Amino acid sequence: MEWLIIVFILMFVIAPVMWLKPSPRQKRQMALRSCAARQGVAVKMAKPPLHHFRGTMPAYRWHYPQQAPGPDFVLVRDSNASDALEPFHAGWRWRIAPLRPLPDVASTHLRTLLERLPQDALVLESNAHSLTLWWWESQTAERFTRYLADIEPLKKALSGLSDHPPAKPLAPDGVEQRNV
């Protein structure tokens, strides 16, 4: 009887330690996020550009070069989009379409990426600063590296296609340079 009480007390002491151990899903996500960080991808938990969405979602960001900003657009998967939105390709709809049509090279890379993304990828967003993928991280780090083969050429093709005119550089005295 004493041994049973000792075993019960030990189990009671060890149980909280087991709760601190990461689950297999958490281990997979940690490996995925560290792999993404090594590839130069910024991972943040943020509110996605979806209507009626509460909470946060993982956002994987590929930053455009500062001197070559990207275009503004938002693509949403059909499952999270209104039927009123314009269809684009492979079950994706424009929530915000680019102001100017994308060049053929960029459009081809974009279509290829959209066909390959997992079902839990809900939004692909581009702004002047970055290309962002909003998804629930269902894949492994190894599988994620395969998407990089599609994302990097897309980012390169979109760089410099900003919807906004570039700011004029400042002169050394802090005044805008004038073209004479």
The answer as to whether 98 is a domain residue is yes
pLDDT of residue 169: 62
Tell me the pairing of strands 130-135 and 42-46: unpaired
The answer as to whether 142 is a domain residue is yes
The answer as to whether 64 is a domain residue is yes
Question: By percentage, how much of the chain surpasses pLDDT 90?
Answer: 38
The answer as to whether 164 is a domain residue is no
The answer as to whether 12 is a domain residue is no
Residues shown for the chain: 180
Q: How far is CA 171 from the centre of its chain?
A: 36
pLDDT of residue 170: 59
Residue ranges making up the domain that contains 66: 24-158
- Measured distance CA(88)–CA(77) in Å, rounded: 10
The answer as to whether 14 is a domain residue is no
Sequential DSSP letters for 19-69: HHSPPHHHHHHHHHHHHHHHTT-EEEEE--S-TT--S-EEEEEEEPPTTSP
The answer as to whether 6 is a domain residue is no
pLDDT of residue 71: 93
φ and ψ of 33, to 5 deg? -70, -35
- Measured distance CA(1)–CA(119) in Å, rounded: 55
Give the residue among 88, 40, 66 at the shortest CA–CA distance from 166.
66
Question: By percentage, how much of the chain surpasses pLDDT 70?
Answer: 91
- Measured distance CA(149)–CA(16) in Å, rounded: 42
- Measured distance CA(125)–CA(110) in Å, rounded: 11
Q: What is the pLDDT of residues 37-66, one digit of tens each?
A: 998 899 999 999 888 888 999 999 999 998
Domain count, the chain: 1
The answer as to whether 107 is a domain residue is yes
Q: Where are the alpha helices (DSSP H) in the chain?
A: 2-20, 24-38, 104-116, 141-158
- Measured distance CA(47)–CA(106) in Å, rounded: 27
